[in-house]
Amino acid sequence: MRINTVNGLTYIKGFQLKRFKRIALSLLFLLLFSGLAASKLAMASTPAVGKQTINALYIPLADHYAALVAFERYRDKMKHADFTLTKMKNWDLLRAYYQSGEVEMAFVMSPLAMSMYTEKPHFRWIGLMHRDGNALAINDLIYEKLRLPPMREDRKPDDQVAKVLDSIHNQSGKSTVIGMPHLLSTHTVVLYRYLKENGLTLSLRPGANTQVLAVPVPPSKSLAFIKAKSNRAQPAAFEQSLPWADVVETGSFGHVAWYSKDVMPWKYGHVECIALATDESIRHKRAAVEEVMYFIHKAGADIETARQEGGEALDAIVKIVRKHIPAHNRKAITASLDPNLRVINYQNLNVDKAGLKQIMDLAVEGGILKTGVDIDEFADTQFQVDLK
């Protein structure tokens, strides 16, 4: 090594030694700091000793309130599962993330879940998140041609809305646009059934000569969608999960025409959003997955009790929901959980093969799903819960 001294300063191959020492120390400090930060991050993401990570994807809807309650009330009581939730902005993002195989569970609308299974069958259906739970909301251009009962619980899916949609198509030659959370949604199946029973047709693509055109509208944008159509004096509607349909009426943007529970009657309520678990998690984290599903059932029972009792019990549920979904105000949440309407329920959340077949057969018939699935293969009934 060649060392030179010039004007009292030492150089190594022309590099000032003091500067070299300063840079070396700085680099060493940076490496130590980076290592400490990485260690803290690793500790933060490491599940509690003896527990296995169960991360679940959800959409901010009343459909998934039971998951929020389970997370807040019972995750510390779980012995096997380190339960976490990841909120997704829309269904397509949830689909893509879950299909990557990096997440153990997801709560998904049943037609979308079946489409995902056809694409990549790396998961199984292990239970329900709720039953019933969506509604058709219409703007004033449709509402003013109807005679709806003043009380929402009295509004049933008679032929009134269908006649108006048919009249609009006959007069203008245009389809009425109805927003759906996703074209592969239970909502689309419910709408298809309502239209079919009243002699009308539904299209999922523009250009068809149908009375109704279904278009995808993210739930959080559904209010803006119906307002924009109304501002342009265009008849429009959307079918969305709660609380969005009720918010239309409570916020004076439109009116609820009917609820899905009356279009799709089924024992205990029709199948809607279902819980999925990857084959990998079922094989290697079965006890943890079972525990999460047990507490989702228990949280559903908590919600049912709270909606009946009201007062502090309901306030506690509202507080939990608003912590995770600030966009749902108290008025919207309590409207969704109205004990008199009972348009969504969190009971009987075990696998319901016949209930899913009802949805699947209509979805295939209406061209919403290209093909059905083998429900016996799709379902894993080993996660049944009996709270009694």
286 and 226, same structural domain?
no
Determine, yes or no, domain membership for 38: no
Please say if the pLDDT value at position 141 is more than 60: yes
Please say if the pLDDT value at position 199 is more than 50: yes
In tens, the pLDDT along 238-292 reads 999 988 887 888 778 889 999 999 999 999 999 999 999 999 999 999 999 999 9
Cβ contact 290:284 at 8 Å: no
Average pLDDT, the chain: 88
In tens, the pLDDT along 95-117 reads 999 999 999 999 999 999 999 99
Residue percentage of the chain with pLDDT more than 70? 87
228 and 148, same structural domain?
yes
Please say if the pLDDT value at position 30 is more than 50: no
Which of the four pLDDT bands, split at 50, 70 and 90, describes residue 372?
very high
125 and 7, same structural domain?
no
Query: Which residues lie below 8 Å from residue 96, measured CB to CB, with a gap of 6+?
Result: none
In tens, the pLDDT along 153-171 reads 899 999 999 999 999 999 9
167 and 139, same structural domain?
yes
152 and 105, same structural domain?
no
pTM of the model: 0.86
Mean pLDDT of 106-133: 98
Cβ contact 242:62 at 8 Å: yes
- Mark which of 247, 263, 279 sits at the end of a domain: 263
Note down the domain range covering 228: 134-263
Reduced 3-state DSSP string for the chain:
CCEEEECCEEEECCEEHHHHHHHHHHHHHHHHHHHHHHHHHHHHHCCCCCCEEEEEEECCCHHHHHHHHHHHHHHHHCCCEEEEEEECCCHHHHHHHHHCCCCCEEEEEHHHHHHHHHHCCCEEEEEECCEECEEEEECHHHHCCCCCCCCHHHCCCCCHHHHHHHHHHHHHCCCEEEEECCCCCHHHHHHHHHHHHCCCCEECCCCCCCCEEEEECCHHHHHHHHHHHHHCCCCEEEEEECCHHHHHHHCCCCEEEEEHHHHCCCCCCCECEEEEEEHHHHHHCHHHHHHHHHHHHHHHHHHHHHHHHCHHHHHHHHHHHHHHCCCCCHHHHHHHCCCCCCCEECCCCCCCHHHHHHHHHHHHHCCCCCCCCCHHHHECHHHCCCCC
Please say if the pLDDT value at position 33 is more than 60: no
304 and 279, same structural domain?
yes
355 and 285, same structural domain?
yes
Query: Which residues lie below 8 Å from residue 375, measured CB to CB, with a gap of 6+?
Result: 353, 356, 357, 360
The total domain count for the chain is: 3
275 and 165, same structural domain?
no
231 and 122, same structural domain?
no
**What confidence score (pLDDT) does residue 246 get?**
79
Determine, yes or no, domain membership for 328: yes
In tens, the pLDDT along 177-196 reads 999 999 999 999 999 999 99
